[in-house]
Every structure is written in C-alpha cells, then in structure tokens.
Amino acid sequence: MTKLLRVLIAEDEPLNLARLSRLLQEAGCEIVAEVTDGPGVFEWLNKGEPVDALFLDIQMPGLSGLDVVADLPRPFPIVFVTAYSEHAVRAFEQAAVDFLLKPVTAERLAKTLERLRSPREHATPEAPKPTGPFRYPVKAGQGLVFLDLAKTTHFTFEDGIVWAHAGDRFRTLWQTLTEAETALAGRGLLRSHRHLLLRPEAVVGVRAGEFGRILARLAGGVELEVSRGAAPALKKRLGLS
C-alpha cells in the first residue's frame, strides 16, 4: 500500500502553487498547508502538527526557501522547487531530498515522491530512556576521554565534525548532528539551528535577534543565535512562554 504523505507547500506564485498542489493530491498526497512565504512555514510548524515533507520555493518574499531550511528547528525532508537550475547545487548542500524545476511534471514528481516514501530515508530511531548522569566520549591524543553532559553547553557541526563545547572545544565521535541528537535523545538538548545543539540549562540570558531569532548567552559569555523555528521551544524551556 502506498504511504500517504502529509505535505506543506510554500510558494508565492498562485498559478505554480495551484499546479503543484493539484499534482501532489493527484499523486495521493495530503496537503496540510499552503503558505506564500518563509515566515508562514514557521507559523504552521509551530502548531506541532505532523508533516512528512516540505516543498519549498527557493525565491520567496522575506525569507528564501534556503533561509527557511537553515532556520528549521529540526531536520525535515525537503524538496526545493524553483525555475532556476543554478540553485541546484545550494539545494543539495542543504541536504534536500530532491530539486524540482518549474513547471513541475507529474512524471518528475512521481520520482520525488518515491524518494520520500523510501523507508530508509526518514526512519526516526527510538529514543533511549535516560538514567542518571550521562557521559560521552571525545578524542584526546591517541585515545578517548569522557565528558559530563551536565558540564557541556552545546554541540556544533563544522567541517564534517561534531564538536562538544565544555569549557574548551572537543572533537566527538559523531559524524553528524543527527547522530549526536539520536545518541542524546531524551536528555533535554534542543536543535537550535541546523548546525547547533543547545543544552537549555546552560543558557544564562537571552535577547532579541533579527527576523524573530533570539540570541542565547551561555555560561562563559558565549552568545549563540537560535533560529526563528527553534525560538518558541527555547522560550518554553526557559519559562518565557
């Protein structure tokens, strides 16, 4: 049986929006939302309703589709839709599932939906049940040492490496932030940006940033930008909403 996909579409051109919506519905998808700009994507996602994929126009008013992906609070399967093939490289740098050129055809869309329905692409591992203090290994010379998560402020992904920040910067064994997020599931970390995992308990202050983002100050004076999409979750964890 073909898996029903719940899809959000972000497209500012009415004719293109209507065409893509029709093709998706004809292919057996449920359109959960149709929005016309980047902020509309975040407004809908903040409702917490389930969605299987985001179809994003790259050029939209306010925030582009690429900007939206950079600010998502957690990874979603992304399909970029645009009239300009030169955006393809940047789209796949953002780990998009696929890239569709306008006008979208039913045949090409079918291949995209096949990728989205592939069970190997989007399975969510079951979160472990945390018990007591937690330590994780990091590299130290030719060996490993174990760091206390409670003394860690955040994790970043840079140049193919996941770094732990605990007073100093330490190289972890994880190769992606998704791996780190899975290993640390249930331990209170927040995906605050595409390349940032934050421990909210380490936040000692916040202030407003641009475009709905917030700046979180950590113990030690480091200030990190939290994406528009993750800002509501962080505020909730800090008792601000």
* Spans of all domains in the chain: 6-117, 135-237
Equal fold, 6-117 vs 135-237: no
Which one is predicted more confidently, 35 or 126? 35
Distance of CA 85 to the CA centre of its chain: 23
> 132 and 113 in contact (C-beta within 8 Å)?
no
What is the per-residue pLDDT across 185-216, written as a single tens digit (0 to 9) for each? 888 888 888 789 999 999 999 998 887 788 99
What is the per-residue pLDDT across 62-106, written as a single tens digit (0 to 9) for each? 777 877 887 776 778 999 998 876 555 555 555 678 888 888 999
CATH topology of domain 6-117: Rossmann fold (3.40.50)
pLDDT at 117: 87
State the CATH class of domain 135-237: mainly beta
CA angle centred on 144, ends 138 and 149, rounded to 5°: 40
Tell whether pTM > 0.75.
no
Residue 187: which region, alpha, beta or left (left: phi > 0; alpha: psi -120 to 50)?
alpha
Helices then strands, each counted (H, E), the chain: 7, 15
What is the per-residue pLDDT across 125-161, written as a single tens digit (0 to 9) for each? 344 444 456 889 999 888 899 999 999 999 999 988 9
